[in-house]
A and B are shown apart, each in its own frame.
Chain A
Amino acid sequence: MAGKEVIVETRKLTKIYRDFWGRQKKVALRALNLQVYRGEIFGLLGPNGSGKTTTIKLLLGLLFPTDGDALVFGQPSGEVKKNERIGYLPEESYLYRFLNAEETLDFYGRLFKLDASVRRERAAKLIERVGLAADKKRVLKEYSKGMRQRIGLAQALINEPELVILDEPTSGLDPLGTRWMKDLIVDLRDRGKTIIMCSHRLEDVQDICDRVAILAEGELQKLGSVKSLLEDVQRLELRAKGVQVNDELKRDLEAVLAKHGGELEFIGHPTTTLEELFLRIIAESKAHPGRRYMPELETPKAMTTPTGGVDAHVKR
């Protein structure tokens, strides 16, 4: 990655939580070394308690490092001025629930050096962009989780930040919301923003992240591009079309692989992801309103139906 501009860097970043008396309670992060480059989507992966959120909080200055350095735009994470170039979406959208969407964005806009006209213009655009135009006058306490996440993202973008930090951005969202969020993150990257996100939804990270760091027990386990990390050089994948799986094909393939020292593990038709299936179905349902799926009912043996049973099929 030589030649790429480093936006975020941690050097032996360590965080130890202590009790009131200074006794060590937990090592949340141990000597983390990371670099995040301009224009990439960087994912922090790991199970609960692995140190993802701690890392983000250290980068934002919400926590102070016990040891090591956290630099954002080359400045220490405690430096307030750096926040002018950062947008942050917390895991839960902890916004003020007594404000409506417009007031929320106006309030956060006031914290930056934005003129009233610029604030209004940006707020209107962002509300439109996150799909809350119809609900912009409703107070946030009336919003659903997904709507709060959307307005949360809008507040993170009010200053048109260079670096966007997202803590579990798809948490609590339905598949449609998840897709919308992922598309928006990719769009932000395409506009030149740098994105750091942490998540334990692996498929989200796999879909959109350029590079990931995998943390466990506060320690960095793996770091690299998603492609390089997921690539299994011990195995070969082959795709074909126009043929049906049958015994002959299987035998032929086994023979070819054996000739090259390999062994056939699996042969079959590819499956799509559940997310893809869900999105396709929803798109179809919108394209064909009123169409519904009638599940095949098991008829009890003691009973007979007037039509002699129900077919499982799609009805219009």
Chain B
Amino acid sequence: MLFAALVLPREPLQWTQLVSAIHLWLQNAGAVAALGLGIWLLAQFLQKRQPFTDALTDVPRPFAGMLANVLTGLACLSLVGFLLIVGLGIVASFNPLRLGRFLPTAGREANLTVGDYILSASGLLALGVALTPMFFGLLRLRWRRIWALARLSLKEAIRNRVVIVFGLVLLVFLFAGWFLPSKAEDQVRTYVWAVYFSIWILFLMLAGLLGSLSIPNDIKSQSIHTIVTKPVEKFEIVLGRFLGYGLLLTIGLVAVSLLSLVYVARGISDQAREESYKARVPIFGQLQFWGTRDPLKGESVGREFDLRGYISGIRVGDKETPRQYAIWTFESLPAELASRESPIRFEFTFDIFRLSKGEEGKPIPCTFLFADGSLDLRQIQDKLAEIQEKRDKRPRADDPDEDRKLSDAFEGKVIEDYGLYELRGEQVTDYHTQSQEVPAALLKKLAAGQKDPNVPPMRVWVSVDPAPEVQMLGAARRDFYLLAADRSFEVNFLKGVVGMWCSQMLVLGIAVACSTYLSGIISWLCTMFLFGAGLFTDYLQQLAENRIQGGGPLQSAWRVMTSRQMAAPLDESPGAAVMVTADRVFTWILGRLLNLIPDVNRFDLHMYVANGFDVSLVNVLLIDNLIPLVGYLLPWAILAYYLMKYREIANPT
């Protein structure tokens, strides 16, 4: 088996995180809405106009006045909520009465604070106020007109030969083979990466350009005059454009993806096909360590990429040094597995860090202990000793086949009585995907034995066996998993494309929304800037939270100019204090702006497909891709609605 490991930059969103994600969304989208409302209300006040009367033209007359007053009140209430939190933040910075604990956590903490609730409620109010006039406007939208405009966009793109761009992907298919390495262990990975990357970049540019240029071109060429002078709501033009181009991109993406799938399937070797041309459905446990200095991170071997924590083996005969363990805790076991009769397969890919010279590629022996999750190490060791004692005394037969039957019966009884299964001396090879099979009876026993839902049903304890030379074993959370099923690579490849589709729709949505107000090229630049920034959200997050060594931009610039070490503290001087303060202001602003930047990395699913892991329909596609996509595009849609509604279509003549 070759190397296939799932390395994700961050955990996908989970159902359990959805509530705090909704809070965060309400706070961010609501803050943008509240800011817009605040400016607009101020403008209305200065012009001595009754707010919302112009915006509620779609509302029946008798209710419009009353509704306008209600909306004005709610908007003010929302603004008060936001101002309250801002005030609380300022006061809390001086730390009286430990007010900081009431401040919003912005989704960083599992428990929501009072500030979170106030901010979410204020955001909800602001969004509600912004959505109410829009809601009445949306009632006038007609699918017939939207579809007509979508068809127009589709025809326009096809007749202007935009589809030729899709043909550029063929170049990748024709010539990628020249550049891609042919090593079997990398073949699927590199093929998938090359195909995904080329499709991704091509379609992304196309989505950005189509979305950015369409409405501004219509306005510039005045073609839009013949549309808006028909009974067409302006937002129908936005939706029609989005839908038309979205459809074109979707059809193109499906076609190109199918072609590229054929390219990947034809191009890879049999060895690579055997190893990675699949979609494993893994069940991951939570990783922790025992006997190491840091129970969460394990030992460090000084690697720059600190994905894996390490456990050390012990020398043969060393009774002093305690054994170290990497422990995977499985919080639940699917009922389907518990009822399975065939052995259950576990797969793993570990890093061997050699402390002494050895033979290249030689495996090291390890022990895998599958145990009831309620047992601690002492209890497990006691039980193992007891089992060993019984094992030594078990009845034996002279005939090897007969003896094997007796042994199997004994081991089955051990599983039944103790809920333990031990695999000793398993040869683990560096960076190779290996597997073990565990009797189905074990999982049945463990699943049935789980009485308390807070106690995990199973833990797997992995340790390096004593050997003449000490070696270390590196493991990350996803390096060991229960293989629930093997699914089709082809379907998984297309599921990975859905992530790509999400990023295209995101770009298209932003571009179309921007183009309702900005010129074509400026819309495109804004879209690409947002998307580009979205690629670096992790870094920007660190910057916004002052987690970057060397401080903010001013401090860093100062260090570069004065050739100071990044870790060295700055001199205490008025200049340094000014720099630190300016950096704090910068990071604060960045922190707020960060909420507007889409996290586009979540849509990159190529690592699942390339490494042969199933893209979960619910956990990855729905919760981590589609819901955030809708959540991000919704505020843009609101913005586009108002920008389009209140813009003059004609230019001064």
Hey, which bits of chain A sit against chain B, CB under 8 A?
A: 17, 25-26, 28, 53-54, 57, 60-64, 76, 78-81, 83-84, 86, 88, 90, 92, 94-96, 98-99, 103, 107-108, 110-113, 139, 152, 155, 159
Q: Please state if A94 and B222 are interface contacts (CB–CB under 8 Å).
A: yes
Task: Kindly state the separation between the CA atoms of A57 and B650 in the bound complex, as whole angstroms.
Answer: 7
Closest Cβ neighbor of A113 among chain B residues = B144
Query: Contact check: which of B57, B140, B148, B222 meets A110 at CB < 8 Å?
Result: B148
User: B225 touches which one: A84, A90, A99, A110 (CB < 8 A)?
Assistant: A90
Query: Does the CB pair A96–B156 fall under 8 Å?
Result: yes
CB pair B652–A26 under 8 Å, yes or no, is yes
Nearest CB in chain A to that of B140: its residue: A80
17 contacts between A and B (CB under 8 A): A28-B652, A53-B653, A60-B225, A61-B228, A80-B233, A86-B229, A92-B222, A95-B226, A96-B152, A98-B160, A107-B151, A108-B230, A110-B147, A110-B148, A111-B230, A111-B232, A152-B226
Alpha-carbon separation in the docked complex, A107 to B159 (Å): 15
Complex Cα distance, B152 from A63, in Å, reads: 25
- Min CB distance B154 to A, Å, is 11
Q: Contacts A107-B148, A111-B148; is A62 near B226 (CB within 8 Å)?
A: no
Q: Are A90 and B148 in contact (CB under 8 A)?
A: no
Which one of B160, B223, B226 has the highest number of Cβ atoms from chain A below 10 Å of its Cβ?
Answer: B226
B residues 191-248 in Cβ contact with A at 8 Å: 221-223, 225-233
Interface residues of B in 138-186 (CB under 8 A from A): 140, 144-145, 147-148, 151-152, 155-156, 159-160
Chain B residues at the A interface, C-beta cutoff of 8 Å: 57, 140, 144-145, 147-148, 151-152, 155-156, 159-160, 221-223, 225-233, 648-650, 652-653
> Which A residue sits closest to B220, measured CB to CB?
A94
Q: How far is the CB of A29 from chain B (nearest CB, A)?
A: 11
Q: Given A62-B225, A98-B160, is A112 in contact with B652 using a C-beta cutoff of 8 Å? A: no
Report the bound CA distance from A94 to B225 in whole Å.
Answer: 8
With beta carbons under 8 angstroms apart, the residue of A110, A139, A152 that contacts B144 is A110
Which residues does chain A contribute within 8 Å of B145, judged by CB atoms?
Answer: 110-111
Enumerate chain B residues within 8 angstroms of A25, measured Cβ to Cβ: 652
| A85 nearest CB neighbor, chain B only | B231
User: Would you call B653 and A94 a contact (CB within 8 A)?
Assistant: no
- 9 nearest A-B pairs in the assembled complex, by CB-CB distance: A110-B148, A62-B650, A98-B159, A111-B230, A94-B222, A88-B229, A17-B652, A83-B231, A57-B650
Contact across chains for B155 and A83 when beta carbons are under 8 A apart? no
Please indicate the chain A residues that have their CB under 8 angstroms from the CB of B230 in the complex. Answer: 83, 108, 111-112, 159
Q: A86-B229, A90-B226 are in contact. List 15 more A-B contacts (CB 8 A).
A: A54-B653, A57-B650, A62-B228, A62-B648, A63-B650, A76-B57, A80-B233, A83-B231, A84-B231, A88-B229, A92-B222, A94-B223, A96-B156, A112-B230, A139-B159
- Do A90 and B222 touch (CB < 8 A)? yes
The distance in angstroms between the C-alpha atoms of A108 and B140, with both chains bound, is 18
- A88:B226 contact, CB within 8 angstroms: yes
State the CA gap A79–B140 with chains docked (Å): 12
Cβ of B649 and Cβ of A94 under 8 Å apart? Answer: no
A62 pairs with B652, CB closer than 8 A? no
Min CB–CB distance A255 → chain B (angstroms) = 56
On whether the beta carbons of B231 and A108 are closer than 8 Å, the reply is no
Which residues of chain A are within 8 angstroms of B652 by Cβ–Cβ distance? 17, 25-26, 28, 54
Q: How far is the CA of A94 from the CA of B229 in the complex (A)?
A: 13
Query: Cα distance A139–B652 when bound, in Å?
Result: 30
Interface contact B155-A62, CB-CB below 8 Å: no
A233 to B233, CA, bound (A): 51
B627 to chain A, nearest CB (A): 33
